[in-house]
Each structure stands twice: as C-alpha cells, then as structure tokens.
Amino acid sequence: MSNHDLILSVPAPARPWRERLGSAVPLLVLGPSLVASLVYVFVFTGWTLYISLSNSSLLPSYDFVGLENYASLWANRRWNIAYNNLFLFSGFYIVGSMAVGLLLAILIDQRVRGEAVWRTIFLYPLAVSFIVTGTVWSWLYNPTDGIQAMVRGLGWTNFSFALASDRHHAIYAVIITGVWQSSGFAMALFLAGLRSVDSDLVKAAQIDGASTFRIYRKVLLPTIAPIFLAVAVIQIQFAIKTFDLVAALTKGGPGISTTFPAIYVYDLMFQRGQIGEGAAAAIMMLAALAVVLVPYSFWVVWRRRKEAGHG
Amino acid sequence: MVDAALDRSLDHRAATVTARRHLLTRLVIYGLLVVFAAIYLVPLLVVVLNSFRDQQEIARNGLISLPRSFRLEAWSQAWSTYCIGGTCEGMQRNFYNSLKMTIPATIISTTVGAMNGYILSKWRFKGSEALFTLMLLGVFIPGQISLMPWAFILGNLGLSNSTYGLIVIHVIQGISFTTLFCRNYYVSIPDDLIKAARIDGAGFWRIFRKIILPLSSPILIVTVIWQFTGIWNEYLFGVVFTSGQQQPITAALVALTASGTNVRAYDVMSAAVLIGALPPLLIYLFGGKYFVRGLTQGAIK
C-alpha cells in the first residue's frame, strides 16, 4: 500500500541546491559511524601494538623498547600454558561442537515429531551467557555437591568425577562445557544447510536405491561443505576470545592449568600493572585469529569470484 | 499360482523386515534425542529446582536431587538483600544497570546498522565496498585489543565506571555486526524498486521509510536479538570498566559466586543465576524462531 503511494506520488520539482545536499545525505549519515568503526579497527589496534612495543607498566608510556615485552611474554611458563590451552581447547571445542551439532541436525532432519521443541531445547544455551553456563557447570563439577556426589548417593560409592578440580584434566571440563553451550548453534546452521539442499538431488539418489546413510555421506554432506567451514570459523573466534567461560568455570585453575590468553591479558593489564606485556599478549591473540581468518577470507573472496564468473 | 503365493509371502516377509528395521531406526533416533535433551535440560532444571529448595536440604542431599522443600525466600534474597562485596542490596541494581546499558545500546547500534546497511547496499559510491570490508574487520577484533584505548578514552570523557561508558563501547563495537547483518539482507532487495522510487522523486529518507523499513522486520529481529543477548551477556568490558554498584549483572554474578563465605548459598546463587539469565532467555523463547530463520536466510553468508 505504501509502495503504491510512493509510485503514484508526484515529484516536487527539485531545486539544484537541494539536489546537491540530497546526494550528500548518505555520506553524512554513514560518515560518523564509519569513522568510529575505522578508528576502532585501525587506531585501537595500532595503539595497542604501539603500547606492546613500549615499556608501559602501570600507566601507558611511549618509550620504545622493541620486542622486549614479547620476549618476556614467551619466556613465561604461564603464557606458554595459556597458548597451548588455546590450541587444545580450540581443537576439541570445534570438532566436538560440530560433531554433536551435526548429529543433532541429522537426527532432527529425520522428520521427527515436535521438531520445534527439540530445536528449542538444543538451542537455548545459546541465549545464556558463558558466565551463567560456567557458574552452573562449576557446581556440577564440584565433587562434594555435584555429579560425583549424586552418583555416589545412588550407591556407587567409589565413583569419581572431579574433572574441574584435577589440574591435568580441568581443561576438558572447559571443553565439555563449551561444547554443551555451542553445539546447538552448529546444529541450527547445519539443519538450515541440510534443508537448503535441492530435494531433487536426494530424490534421484533414493531412486538409485541409495541408503539414508549413503545419501548423507555422498550427497548431502558434500553439498553443505561450505557450512562446515563457516561454523568452524565462527567457533574459532569464540574459542580465541574465551574469557568469560573460564573466568566463571575454573578461574584459570586449579593452579594455572586452565589459563587462557584472554585471562592472561586481563591479569597482566589490570591485576599486575604490566600494560606493555599485556598489550603484547593481546596482539598475540589477534595474531592467532589472523592465522585463521586471513586465509578464510581469501577463500571466500575466491569462491565468490568463481561463482560470479560462472553465473 | 503357487509362484504368485510364494512371491506374495516373500513380499510380506520383506515388508515386515523393513517395518521392523524402520521401527528400530525410529527408536534409535528418538532415544538419542531424549538422551541429548536430558543433557541439555538437566543443568537448567538443577538451577531452577535449587532456587526453590532449602539451603540445608541442598547441603544434605547435594545439588542434583529431587526437592524435598519449597520456599521462595532465595529469590527475594537474591533480588534485594543478599550481600555482594559489602553491599547488601542483592542483584536488583545490577539488573537495572544491565537493562540501562543493553536497551539503549541495542536500539542505537541497530538503528545505525540499518542506516549503514541501507547506504552500503542501495546508495553505493566509489570505494563503498572497500569501506564496508574495512568496517567488517571490527567483527573479528578481540575485545582485549581495545581495552587500553577504551580505558584512555572513557577516562578522558569522564565515563569510567559508568553505564554510559559501556553503552559507548557496545555501540561502537556492535556497529560492525549490525551493518554486516543489514547490508547482506538489503542487498537482496531488488535495485529496480529503488530506481523506480527515485525516478518518482523519492529521496533518501523517503525510500528508507516507505520501501526498506517495511521489508526489514526479519533482519531487524535478528539484529536486535543478537545485540540484546550479546550485550546483556557480555562480561569482559563490564568487569574491566565498572566496579561495585555500577557493574552489569554478569560481573555481579561472578562477584557473587566468588564471595564464598564458609557455606556456599546455592539456593540464593541459583536464583541469582536465573535472574541474570532470564531476559535473554525470554527474548530467545519468543523470538528464537525468527532468529534462526533470519540468521540462515542471510545474516551469515
């Protein structure tokens, strides 16, 4: 109705100055937030980069000291543990949430009853913060009050489940909780992908007598391959930025066993007043992200070009 | 004749085998779904039940057990009287802080994102694609990179330890996301529609109001849900740039659970956790359907 109005409306004769002003409106509207975003991306990153090369301690200073902060960062055992944890966590977390997410998506895709209910159940953790999830799971992992206590109460008295309080395995407690939180998100994207596959492809395979398993392996999953990559890239970002989950779940402990780069940056900057080294650690986080995202964005651009070329 | 009968009985047997296999597959499917649903629901159930149980009973029977008591006091304590770090006002102030932070930041960043998306898709100019790509980088920057610059800027603006400071941060940080979402969605609106309107003399604002906005609800829902839950659930900036009574609810929750006296007050903490989780959960329950649909329609490409 409103579109109709618009098309029928008679244009007022535009005066030249108004026209000129009119063509500037988009730029004027876009300008402020564009500048703010670019400052956020480039000035902030450059600023932190510069601080990482300075001898800032409690307050920022701009005396250039080269790579000293990086050297002392990498000489620190806790940082090395943190960086190792990041890789261990990212690997298991991404594979875990994608595996669970894919399984759930395929299960739901079998024309089950009450699809919306299942979907809601698997997806609700996405709405909840890592703080809430981490807090609640820290209770469940607590040996005297949580899962261990419950199973022992049922009669299995030497049952042991103290994942989060054991320094060798606490990282797996973080991984399990992370997978619990985010596999629903992977499920939603996979399910949407499966539904978007041309149904003629599936029908053709069915006529050829292919089993359901074979149809998934040979037709459906290869078709949604780009979704695997997209899910992985989104999850990697969560993994590298992981701060809240660990802060609420293990606080980096027991000892320093579940320290993550994000936790370490926070400690250096705001607990110990070593801003320079903290900035260096933050830059290393950005570097880890770039290692993943730069190749991915090139791949996306390459694929778009290819598709455009074919179209 | 005999052959035919044999055929039919073979058919019949094959059919029962298929039917049995089918039944088995269905059982496995539903069995797995139920197991996973239990894994997803139990933590929620545990928190909900414990928020109504008596603390002594929790201490005696553990967190995961059927409730044998029922009381509402934990909720009122968590809301208004429980002590966090010396102040005994419960979570209410932090809850309001989070609301005061999340609602304006969501509205502003969504509005700006819609305008940006509209311009970057329908009023392209030389270099606008390149600018869009540069803006997009903001999606990937980890918060840790911006901590020092924000500390400096908020300090100079006199906004440290205030909800307004957090609003500024979340708006600037959110613009990359909201612009990305809206731009990718608006690209699919046919340009001819815009061209026709321009020929008829409609200007920038009029086209936005009469053509773009009426078509926007799917993407605006996605953007609002994304921003609201993201900002409500954010912890890093909250804990770094505010303290005590100015803290948003996530930071207060961590302070509350860490302020461990001798006995962990699981009943109050459970209620507090639920108070902190409720707003995004409600938004998700009412809007989740549209969220998933919108997300897969265009937001993530």
Q: How confident is the model at residue A6 (pLDDT cuts 50, 70, 90)?
A: very low
Is residue A224 domain-shared with residue A275, that is, in the same domain? yes
**Contact (CB<8Å) B40/A121:** yes
Domain final residue, candidates A36, A52, A68: A52
What average pLDDT does this structure show over A111-116? 87
| Cβ neighbours of A248 in B, within 8 Å | 235, 253-254, 257
Query: Measured between CB atoms, does B236 come within 8 Å of chain A?
Result: yes
Predicted local distance difference test score (pLDDT) of residue A165: 80
CA terminus-to-terminus distance, chain B: 62
User: Is residue B111 less than 8 Å (CB to CB) from chain A?
Assistant: no
pLDDT under 70 in chain B at which residues? 1-11, 259-263, 295-301
Please judge whether A244 and B236 are an interchain contact, meaning their C-beta atoms are less than 8 angstroms apart. Answer: yes
Tell me which chain B residues have a C-beta less than 8 angstroms from the C-beta of A4.
none
For A104-124, what is the mean pLDDT? 90
pLDDT tens sequence across A183-198: 998 998 898 888 888 8
- One domain, residues A148 and A291: yes
Residue A66 backbone phi and psi in degrees, to 5: 65, -140
**A297 and A229: one domain?**
yes
Residue A30 is part of which domain span?
Answer: 16-52
* Residues 6+ positions from B49 with CB-CB distance below 8 Å: B66, B67
Do A43 and A164 lie in a common domain?
no
In angstroms, the CA B238 to CA A265 distance is: 15
Indicate whether A232 and A295 sit together in one domain. yes
Q: Which of the residues B115, B139, B145 would you substitute to probe the A interface, choosing the one with the greatest number of A C-beta atoms within 10 Å?
A: B145
Q: Distance of CA B57 to CAs A5, B50, B73, Å?
A: 67, 10, 14
Task: Say yes or no to pLDDT of A3 above 60.
Answer: no
A103/A232 same-domain check: yes
A window 50-79, beta carbon within 8 A of B: 51, 60
Q: Which residues on chain B are in Cβ contact (under 8 Å) with A11? A: 200-202
B286 touching chain A per CB within 8 A? no
Would residue A44 count as lying in a domain? Answer: yes
Interface of A with B in 239-278 (CB under 8 A): 240-241, 243-244, 247-248, 251, 261-262, 265-266, 269-270, 275, 278
* Minimal CA separation from B212 to chain A, in Å: 10
Gap between the Cα atoms of B263 and A79, Å rounded:
34
pLDDT of residue B265: 84
**Does the distance separating the beta carbons of B62 and A149 come in below 8 Å?**
yes
3-class DSSP state for residue A272? coil
Asked if A12 lies within 8 A of B201 by C-beta distance, the reply is yes
For domain B81-299, the CATH superfamily is: MetI-like (1.10.3720.10)
* pLDDT(A208) > 90: no
Are A130 and A43 in a shared domain? no
Please check whether residue B144 touches A, CB under 8 A.
yes
Q: What is the CATH number of the domain that holds A138?
A: 1.10.3720.10
Are the Cβ atoms of B37 and A121 closer than 8 angstroms?
A: yes
Nearest to A132 among B131, B239, B277 (CB): B277
Q: Is the Cβ–Cβ distance between A158 and B75 less than 8 Å?
A: no
Are A107 and B29 in contact by the 8 Å Cβ rule? The answer is yes
Touching check for B38 and chain A: CB below 8 Å? no
B40 and A25 in contact by Cβ < 8 A?
no
Task: State chain A's mean pLDDT as an integer.
Answer: 85
Q: Per-residue pLDDT tens for A28-76? A: 889 899 999 999 999 999 999 999 998 887 777 778 888 989 999 999 9
Q: Which residue of A has its CA nearest to B122?
A: A26
B284 and A150: CB-CB below 8 Å? no
Of B32, B37, B283, the CB nearest to A127: B283
Cβ atoms of A179 and A90 closer than 8 Å: no
Q: pTM here?
A: 0.87
- Ordered by start, the domain boundaries in chain B are 2-72, 81-299
Check residues A145 and A5 and name the one with the higher pLDDT: A145
State the alpha helices, DSSP H only, in B200-265. 204-207, 217-233, 236-241, 249-258
In a domain, A287, yes or no: yes
Evaluate whether B131 touches B168 at the Cβ level (below 8 Å).
Answer: no
Alpha helices in chain B (DSSP H): 2-50, 55-61, 73-76, 92-122, 128-136, 143-157, 163-186, 191-199, 204-207, 217-233, 236-241, 249-258, 266-294
DSSP state of A126: G
Q: Do B292 and A119 touch (CB under 8 A)?
A: yes
Q: Which residues of B touch A281 (CB under 8 A)?
A: 144
Is the pLDDT at A1 greater than 90? The verdict is: no
pLDDT at B178: 93
Q: Which of A5, A37, A52 is the last residue of a domain?
A: A52
Count up the domains in chain A and report the number. Answer: 2
The mean per-residue pLDDT over the stretch A154-169 comes to 82
B positions 173-192 inside 8 Å of A (CB):
173, 175-176, 179
Hey, is the C-beta of B145 within 8 angstroms of any chain A C-beta?
A: yes
Percent of chain A topping pLDDT 90: 36
Q: Which residues in chain B are closer than 8 Å to A230, comparing Cβ atoms? A: 300
Residue A10 has pLDDT above 50, yes or no: no
